[in-house]
Structure formats: structure tokens, C-alpha cells
Amino acid sequence: MTVENFVGSQLYVARTFRGYSQTQLAKLIETVPSFICEIENCRKNPSRELLERIYSVLGFAPTFFCRETEDILEDHQCSFRHRATTPQGLKKRVLAYGTLFMTLVHRLRSLVELPTYNLPRIQVGSTEDIEQAAQTCRERLGMGSSPVGEMTRVLENSGVVVTLFSLPTLKIDAFSRRGPVSIVVRNPSKNSTSRALFDMAHELGHLVIHPDGAGSSEEEAEADRFASAFLLPRSGFIPDFTAVRNPQWIHLFEMKRNWRASVAAIIRRARDLGLIDEGEYKRRCCYLRMKGWHKGEPCEPAEETPETLRAALDCYESESGFTLRDIGKQLGWTPETTEEIAGIPLPKDNEPRDRGLRIVVPRHGKHEGGEAGE
């Protein structure tokens, strides 16, 4: 007996989300790879027994495979920094994650109004154009030439939902997509907050100057330049860097504390703006490598966490009474899968839900309880 309304593309999403190849999955569910291929292409339907095995291996409920996902993340829509060297399996995995995450956001948006996407679309043809594009974004956000406080908030206030997805590799730092739901997915495995902030500024660059997706190494270099110009704007950076003649490392780390950009990014920016020559730049880079700072620098800024999703979940719950666990169940995800996709741990069934700290102002003459809405 087969399941008639099985949607093959859902199996593809679930399989690639788990990082399995067709052969690996076939081995786990005791079938042949070609059959998996047939199911994914909707040429055959799995039996109920096979579906049960798929469900247990992939961590999705049978209902997940019977409902088509509307907004599927495609490779060409996204920008990967190391497109050529990123393993295909890994790329498919993060795309599947992005698809599932967007499904969650679409669900939340049915009841919750998220910040409106308001990033400009700017065409660039030269380095000066990129500098201007970054400056335009800064001005729109009211940042002038000051350091960026929280990069995640820059994206989230611009209508981009930011999420973290841990990968066992550093091949993918982050990727973005502009669409009905615009997202930035960041890999938190990187051992450097300052570089993570740069990654987000890089993705902001793609969203602004390559809104239809980027692929070439030139476009990646343009996004790097944008990130550099956004985090370290010329008008603010040059006076700071030139305040000290021949800045020592201690000065560069002081700048890092202030600008929240890695020392490597500061040196690179100084070279790009002609504040240091090529020889000085190489000498600094050699020292950086010698100290092992290319793998992780000292004096890292504080870690940033996305806020939109949590706020949207709280709002959704207060509006409908549905928790994240309930939403996951509706979407056909197991609690473990829901935790992985949302990046938020679910409270145990018997555990009281943490609704955050509330300031309760006692009323005169009332020591216990309170009125609704207090």
C-alpha cells in the first residue's frame, strides 16, 4: 500500500537538511538509492512502512511529506562566499535549512507583522559606487560615520530575519536571500565575533548591491568591500587611523574595541584607503599569521543574537496561544527538528515556560495578585 499524496520535493528538503545523500538515506531506510530518486521526482510513492522509516530517520512527521513547501530556497537566489569550493552536499543542506526556516517565518507572518524590508537596491560599477552605497545605507539608518552598535539589529530593523545554523565546517560563513522572506543565515561555528559581524555586513552588501543573488568571485569581492565600507566608513575611519603616526598593535586593538571590526579588517581597510602601503600591509598580515590571529583574534566584541524570531514567536503565542512546539507540530516537525530549525530550545513538557523577567510594581494596599494586564 502506497501513500498517494506524498510530495517528493519534501523528501528532498528533509534529506538534504539532514545532510544525507540518496545512497546514505537508502542504506538507512533499507531501500535502493534509485528508489529515493524516483520518490523525490514524484515518479513513485513510498509505502506506509517506508514512510515510517523515513519519518524516524529524518525526524519529520508523515504530515510534513504531504504538504508542498511554497517558498523553496534555490541555489541561484543565494550568495555563498566560497561558491566554487563549497561542497555541494553542504550547500544543499543549508539551502534546505533556509527553506524550513522560511516556512516557519511564513507561518509566523500569518499573525505577526515583522519589520518591513526596506533595504535599497543600488547598482554599482566601481569601488567608489560601493563606498557610496555603504554610506547611503548608513545614512538611512542614521549612523553617520560612527561605529555600528549591533550588526544583527541593522539587518533585522531592515526587515531581514537573521538566524544561526551550526555547521561542522567553516566553508560556509553565512548566506543571504532577498525574497518574500528575506533572510541571513549565519554559521556560528566561527571562532570570531568580529568576523561574524563582518560576515553579516557582507551579506547586507549582497542584499543591497546584488539583490538577485551573487555568484562570481568579483561579486564576493564587491560585498567584502561593501562590508568594509559599512563597518569602517571612510569619514570616521581615516581620522581615527591617522590620529597616531605609525599605529602600533595596541592602537589597532583599541580601534577594534571601538569599531567592532577585526584587526585584519582594519589593516585591510587601511590598505584599501591608501593609509598604509602594500609592504606595510603584508608585514602586518605576516605578523597576524605568526601570532595565529588569522584563526581567532584577541579582544573580540560581544556575541550578538537574533531577536526578530523570538519576538515573533512571543507575539504569535500571545495572539493565538500556539507555542513554538505547537507550530512545529503543525508543520510536521518533531520537537527536536523544531529546536534545530528555530535555534531555540523548547521547554520540557513539565517545565514552566520562561517568559522572561517582568518588572512588577506593587500597588498600595495590594500585596498579592493583581489585575489583568498588570
Partner 1 sequence: MSDLHIRIGTMKTVKPTDIHPALSEERIHKVARVLQEARETALAVFEPGRGDTPWSLGCVSYSRSCFLLARAAEGEYSDWLSIVEDAGLHFVFAIGGVPLRFYKGEPEHPKSNSLRRNLPEVRAQQQAFQFMEHSDSADKVLRLALETNEAGAVETVSLVELDDLGRPLNSFSLHLDKAPLLTFTPKHRQAVSLPPPVVRPKGKKANVSKEAGK
The owner of cell 560576515 is 199
- Binding track over 312-341 against partner 1, x by CB under 8 A: x-xx--xxxxx---x--xx-----------
* Alpha carbons 278 and 369: distance in angstroms, whole number: 69
Cα 330 from Cα 163, distance rounded (Å): 21
Cell reading at 24: 546514505
Q: Which is nearer to partner 1, 78 or 161 (CB)?
A: 161
Q: Does 147 bind partner 1 (CB under 8 A)?
A: yes
Grid coordinates of 368: 498579592
Out of 150, 294, 334, 343, the residue judged to bind partner 1 by CB under 8 A: 150
Closest to partner 1 by CB, 113 or 371: 113
Residue 231: C-alpha distances to residues 122, 134, 143, 304 (Å): 18, 9, 10, 15
Q: Is 156 near partner 1 (CB under 8 A)?
A: yes
Q: How far is the CB of 363 from partner 1 (least distance, A)?
A: 27
Alpha helix ranges (H) inside 19-69: 22-28, 33-40, 48-58
d(CA 200, CA 186): 8
Please identify, using beta-carbon distances, which residue of 5 and 110 lies nearer to partner 1: 110
Q: How many residues bind partner 1 (CB under 8 A)?
A: 43
Does residue 5 interact with partner 1 by CB under 8 A? no
H/E stretch holding 186 reads strand 183-186
243 binds partner 1, rule: CB under 8 A: yes
Q: Write out the binding residues for partner 1, residues 259-298 only, by CB under 8 A.
A: 260
Q: Does residue 238 touch partner 1 according to CB under 8 A?
A: no
> Near partner 1 by CB under 8 A, which window of 138-146, 266-274, 287-295, 349-357?
138-146
Q: Which of residues 160-179 bind partner 1 (CB under 8 A)?
A: none
Q: How many CA atoms lie within 13 A of 268 on its CB side?
A: 17
C-alpha closest to that of 73 among 161, 179, 226, 159: 179
Contacts (Cβ under 8 Å, ≥6 apart) of 8: 39, 40, 41, 42, 43
Please choose, out of 8-16, 22-30, 144-152, 205-213, the segment that lies near partner 1 by the rule CB under 8 A: 144-152
| Contact call for residue 142 and partner 1 (CB under 8 A) | yes
Residues in contact with partner 1 by CB under 8 A are 109-115, 141-150, 153-154, 156-157, 236, 239-240, 243-245, 258, 260, 307-308, 311-312, 314-315, 318-322, 326, 329-330
